[in-house]
């Protein structure tokens, strides 16, 4: 049984490595980002296998009793992916976020720049998953500086056009 499990594990690893390719190249993609540092739909263009640009668009609305709350965020981003083997690619990520939050009719807006990185895994040039953290947050309006590894996000991407 141990021999079978070892052979099965080797077969799965070989299959993943055989199907893994480099990051998408010259393709548009759509995806979903979930996390403590902003969730929403994500639109990406892979300029080449190492440079991805795009934006995240998020909206949420909540209402209970006499209180309502809504939030909107738009965040263009730049991502530089480092070459790596077997489809796993570490990357650096920079994001400028504009957000607006309204609570019971009183709204406030904010802008910030986030810098961090992550790891993406591409099964092929069409589908990938990623996880990222933001190490530095620079609030522009209102002004603040945040060093942290707490804001984390995971996501999936589907690229098409090739």
In the structure encoding, which two tokens stand for residue 100, read together? 């607006």
pLDDT for 41: 96
* Helix, strand, or coil (residue 149): coil
Residue span of the structural domain in which 22 resides = 2-160
Summarize pLDDT for 62-113 with one digit per residue, the tens. Answer: 888 888 889 999 999 999 999 877 778 999 999 999 999 998 888 999 999 9
| Length of the chain measured in residues | 162
How many domains does one find in the chain?
1
Give phi and psi for 20, each to the nearest 5: -70, 140
Q: Per-residue confidence at 162, pLDDT binned at 50, 70, 90?
A: low
Give phi and psi for 13, each to the nearest 5: -60, -40
pLDDT for 2: 43
Secondary-structure breakdown of the chain: helix, strand, coil percentages, each rounded to the nearest 5: 10, 65, 20
Residue 103 β-bridge partners: 69, 106
Task: Please return the burial class of 29, using the count of CB atoms within 10 Å of its CB with bins 0-12, 13-18 and 19+.
Answer: buried
pLDDT exceeds 50 at position 147: yes
Between 31-35, 43-47, 86-90, 92-96, the lowest mean confidence (pLDDT) is in 86-90
Q: Vertex 25, ends 22 and 30: CA angle to 5°?
A: 100
* Percentage above 70 pLDDT, the chain: 85
The CATH number of residue 101's host domain is 2.40.160.20
Whole-angstrom distance, CA of residue 23 vs CA of residue 126: 8
User: What is the average pLDDT across 147-154?
Assistant: 85
């Amino acid at each position: 049984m141990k021999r079978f499990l070892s052979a099965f594990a080797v077969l799965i690893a070989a299959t993943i490595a055989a199907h893994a390719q480099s990051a998408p190249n010259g393709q548009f993609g759509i995806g979903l980002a979930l996390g403590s540092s902003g969730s929403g739909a994500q639109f990406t263009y892979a300029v080449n296998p190492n440079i991805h640009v795009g934006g995240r668009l998020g909206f949420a609305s909540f209402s209970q009793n006499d209180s309502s709350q809504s939030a909107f965020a738009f965040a263009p981003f730049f991502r530089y992916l480092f070459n790596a083997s077997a489809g796993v690619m570490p990357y650096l990520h920079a994001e400028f976020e504009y957000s607006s939050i309204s609570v019971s009719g009183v709204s406030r807006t904010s802008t910030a720049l986030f810098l961090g990185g992550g790891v993406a895994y591409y099964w092929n040039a069409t589908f990938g998953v990623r996880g990222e953290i933001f190490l530095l947050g620079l609030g522009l309006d209102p002004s603040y500086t945040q060093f942290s590894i707490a804001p984390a996000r995971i996501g999936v991407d589907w690229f098409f056009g090739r």
